[in-house]
Structure 1
Amino acid sequence: MKKFIIPALICLTVQFVFSQKATDMSTPKVSPNGTINFSVMDNAPQLEGCKSAGTVQQQNKCTAAKIENFIQQEFNNDIARSISNNSANNAIYIRFIINKQGNVENVGVRTNDSNLKAEVERIIKKLPTFSRGTHRGTNVNVSYALNLKADRLIRK
């Protein structure tokens, strides 16, 4: 019996020593600069017309669609056509902050083509004002990111 109890106690001790502290996954992470990700907010910033879209998920989808449509409408087709044939230059990663007043700031664009990067930055800075984003009753800065393909920006 002693041969069974001692190894079992050792195993239990090791299990408790190396177990990790439980974390609260319901609390969204706030970045060091005080921004919260758009997708985990209580009340994410919305573009005009999306507040009445229904559920929070539907409102977020509405805002994402309006952002993409805005970029497409403002985009210079000549730039998109010039690079859309080259798949290496086709991907665009965009991130920006929606500040506490609903204005876009701190725009960052990653792509392999400098003309495309400048054009997308120009357009993102022209986005209309968002509603204020709140989390737990406080206005907060919100980070927003999206991926696009240059060939999807060409207006038919």
Structure 2
Amino acid sequence: MKYFIFSVSFLLGALTFGQDKTISLSELDSITNKSEEKTYVVIENVPVYKGCKKEKDNANKKKCMSEKIAQLFQDNFNTELHEDSDIEPGMKQISVLFQIDKEGHVININAKGEDEYLEAEAVRVVNLIPQMTPGMQKGKPVIVPYSLPLNVNVTTNKNEGITKYPVYRGCDKTSSNKALEECSKRKIMNFIKMSFDIEMASRALPLERSTQFLLEFTINKKGKIENVNAKANHRAIAIEAIKVAKRLPKFKEPGLWEGVAVETPFSMLMTLYFQ
């Protein structure tokens, strides 16, 4: 089972998101100089990510892009250490630099981290970013550099020894462990999104359009949810996440190890949007 925490921030020129260390302007200049065409650090109209066109100004378009790419990494980044990796599990930093070209494609991706496999995984996920509306300067499309500092909690495979993953309601028990895990994650996310008190979240965070929380629990030997815990940037969000998770239905079957029922840990980072 993947267990991960992402802290994602973006740098467009000298504008930053989040509290992570950012790349200096001189470092951005070094990227710019690698291209034969001029790139723009300060931009009149920033690139627009798919689904962010309705945002009215640059600040909101960049925030929307940040949320979309954070979700992309959450859904696609493999946080389990490669079998040949020499680093220990734990929180790791990866700095990713790339450019948005005149057609809105991601180009010139470069990742720096503690491990070549983490770097390769970061590059792979960045390559999944869809084509977007390019940045514009004086009415013409231009190349725009971006920096993406990542904090990723990498782990070993927590399900080593689990010969049968717990079977959630509506999932095919004859599926592989990977398919069962993906099915469970998808259905649990849908249950929480449908059950979460969005109006309360909007009142608790009136200046935000979304919130994230880390949900953790154990699937016990009878397939029931227990030891529920949540971490969020607002106490009310964490309380609501725990309350909703406790209403999750019993799994059809618990996790098995060599045919014997075992407790299985579950952890998932979720993003909920208010609008």
Flag whether TM exceeds 0.5 (same fold): yes
Residue 77 of structure 1: SS of its match in structure 2? Answer: coil
Aligned twin of 1:142: 144
Give, in angstroms, the shift of residue 136 of structure 1: 1.4
CA distance in 2, matches of 1:84, 1:128: 32
Q: Is the 8 A contact 2:45 2:136 kept in 1?
A: yes
Gaps of 5+ in 2: 1-27, 155-213, 215-266, 269-275
The letter of the residue matching 1:139 is P
CA distance in 2, matches of 1:127, 1:137: 24
Quick check: 1:66 aligned with 2:44?
no
Quick check: 1:95 aligned with 2:113?
no
Equivalent position to 2:39, from 35, 46, 57: 35
CA deviation profile, 1:93-151 (whole Å, cap 9, x unmatched): 01101110001110000101111111111111121011121111111011111111012
Q: Is the 8 A contact 1:99 1:105 kept in 2?
A: yes
Change (3 A) 1:57 1:42: same
The letter of the residue matching 1:151 is N
Q: More strand per residue: 1 or 2?
A: 2
Equivalent position to 1:75, from 74, 77, 94: 77
Higher CA-based Rg: 1
Change (3 A) 1:151 1:86: closer
Residue 94 of structure 2: SS of its match in structure 1? Answer: strand
The letter of the residue matching 2:70 is E
Aligned twin of 1:48: 50
Which consecutive segments of 4 or more residues in structure 1 shift more than 2 A? 29-33, 82-87
Residue 81 of structure 2: SS of its match in structure 1? Answer: helix
Give, in angstroms, the shift of residue 85 of structure 1: 3.6
Aligned twin of 1:117: 119
CA distance in 2, matches of 1:79, 1:142: 32
The letter of the residue matching 2:65 is T
CA distance in 2, matches of 1:35, 1:44: 12
Change (3 A) 1:84 1:54: farther
CA distance in 2, matches of 1:67, 1:84: 26
Q: More helix per residue: 1 or 2?
A: 1
Q: Is the 8 A contact 2:81 2:89 kept in 1?
A: no
TM-score normalised by length of structure 2: 0.40
Gaps of 5+ in 1: 1-28
CA deviation profile, 1:20-60 (whole Å, cap 9, x unmatched): xxxxxxxxx984431112xx211111111112123220111
Identity of aligned residues (%): 30
CA distance in 2, matches of 1:55, 1:100: 20
Q: Is the 8 A contact 1:48 1:130 kept in 2?
A: yes
RMSD: 2.6
The letter of the residue matching 1:112 is E
Give, in angstroms, the shift of residue 68 of structure 1: 1.6
CA distance in 1, matches of 2:105, 2:126: 11
